[in-house]
Amino acid sequence: MKTVREALQWGAARLQHASTTPRLDAEVLLADVLGVSRAGLIARLHDTLARDAFKAFQGRIARRERGEPVAYIVGRKAFYGRDFLVDARVLIPRPETELLVERALARLADVPAPRIADIGTGSGCIAVTLAAERPDAHLIATDVSEGALAVARANAERHGVADRVDFRRGSLLEPLDAPVHLIVANLPYVGTDEMEILAPDVATYEPHVALFAGPDGLALIRDLLAQVSPAVLLPGGALLLEIGYAQGEAVARLVRERWPHAQVVLHRDLAGLDRVVEISDLWLTAEA
């Protein structure tokens, strides 16, 4: 029989070569088995672990050792202070996407009852967070994947916002039937050319429909921009798009080719990399 401390040491050692954060992973996996928080786990370091619990822990460690992300093993991931259900049907929410949420909240601070579209909602982390942070907002959340929409709906229920998030299946802006104040999108932006430089865990376990967008990664952003018109975006409305760190200039060029006077602002993430592009003032020109 092992104590919690010994089990953690065993688990971290097993993950030494499979993870860059072996101790943290072992803690999260064991806390999940015991149904406690990580802090709760640390408070029990000297407790003896029941045989069944250790067996369950061994199973989770084996999955992690094979490369499966921790979030899929425990079925949850924290995003903007809330817990989101995740499984293999959706991309695991990333911390850098919180920047997009922050910019959306800042942009809409003075807009009462905003209508927001979240394109490629995946787990629903962006749409559900915006609905929870702005109780007067109405969201339309779209995805091409029915599986992703099922997960996103469950997250909307979980966070009590299902009555204000309208989930629609369809590609890009096609499901929008009325103009909104803000379009947010974290669409796939990895180039198929870059497949081999992705972390192996990502390419093996996360849905490819959530990752890749043509050879340069810009295929979906290009198509989305081509669909923007007054039929989907209100005057004074804006777009916030998450992008790859090297795509800022290319996206700015795409925008200016169509709307020469548009405002394009690149926002950097905590690592100092271009991560979100904010596009506004599109309709100052005649070609809207």
Question: Which residue ranges are tagged as binding site?
Answer: 120-124, 143, 186
Residue 15 or 238: the one with the smaller Cβ distance to ligand SAM is 238
Cβ-contact 152, 127 below 8 angstroms: yes
C-alpha span between 38 and 7 (Å, rounded): 14
Q: How far apart are CA 250 and CA 114, in angstroms?
A: 29
Work out whether strand 165-169 and strand 180-185 pair parallel, antiparallel, or are unpaired.
unpaired
- Of 61 and 156, which CB lies nearer to ligand SAM in the complex structure? 156
Binding-site member from 22, 122, 237, 244 for ligand SAM (CB under 6 A):
122
Strands 274-280 and 233-242: antiparallel
Instruction: Give yes or no for residue 187 binding ligand SAM (CB under 6 A).
Output: yes
Q: How far is the CB of 208 from ligand SAM (least distance, A)?
A: 9
Q: Residue 213 CB, nearest distance to ligand SAM (Å)?
A: 7
> In this complex, which beta carbon is closest to ligand SAM, that of residue 19 or of residue 142?
142
202 or 265, CB closer to ligand SAM?
202
Give the span between the Cα atoms of 204 and 275, in whole angstroms.
24
Number of residues that bind ligand SAM (CB under 6 A): 24
Let me know: does 278 contact 267? Beta carbons within 8 Å: yes
CA distance 239 to 131: 17
Q: Cβ distance 190 to 220 under 8 Å?
A: no
Q: Minimal CA–CA distance to 91: which of 144, 46, 159?
A: 144
Q: Give the footprint of ligand SAM on residues 197-256 (CB under 6 A).
A: 209-210, 220
Binding to ligand SAM (CB under 6 A) within 76-105 occurs at 90-91, 93, 97
DSSP state, 90? S
* Among positions 19, 121, 129, 155, the unique one binding ligand SAM when judged by CB under 6 A: 121
What separation in angstroms does the CA of 177 have from each of 120, 153, 232?
16, 20, 7
Residue among 8 and 119 whose Cβ is closer to ligand SAM? 119
Please choose, out of 63-71, 101-109, 113-121, 129-137, the segment that lies near ligand SAM by the rule CB under 6 A: 113-121
- State in angstroms the smallest separation of the CB of 71 from ligand SAM: 11
Q: Which two tokens stand for residue 81?
A: 């202070």
* Residue 24, beta-bridge partner list: none
Q: Indicate which single residue of 27, 143, 216, 274 sits in contact with ligand SAM (rule: CB under 6 A).
A: 143
Rounded to whole angstroms, how far apart are CA atoms 66 and 14? 11
Q: What minimum distance in Å lies between the beta carbon of 97 and ligand SAM?
A: 4
Residue 144 within binding range of ligand SAM, rule CB under 6 A = yes
Of the candidate residues 48, 58, 171, 227, the single one contacting ligand SAM (CB under 6 A)? 171
Q: What angle do CA 132, 135, 140 make, to 5 degrees?
A: 75
Nearer to ligand SAM, 30 or 104 (CB): 104
Q: Is 19 in the site for ligand SAM (CB under 6 A)?
A: no
Site of interaction with ligand SAM (CB under 6 A): 90-91, 93, 97, 119-123, 125-126, 142-145, 148, 171-172, 186-188, 209-210, 220
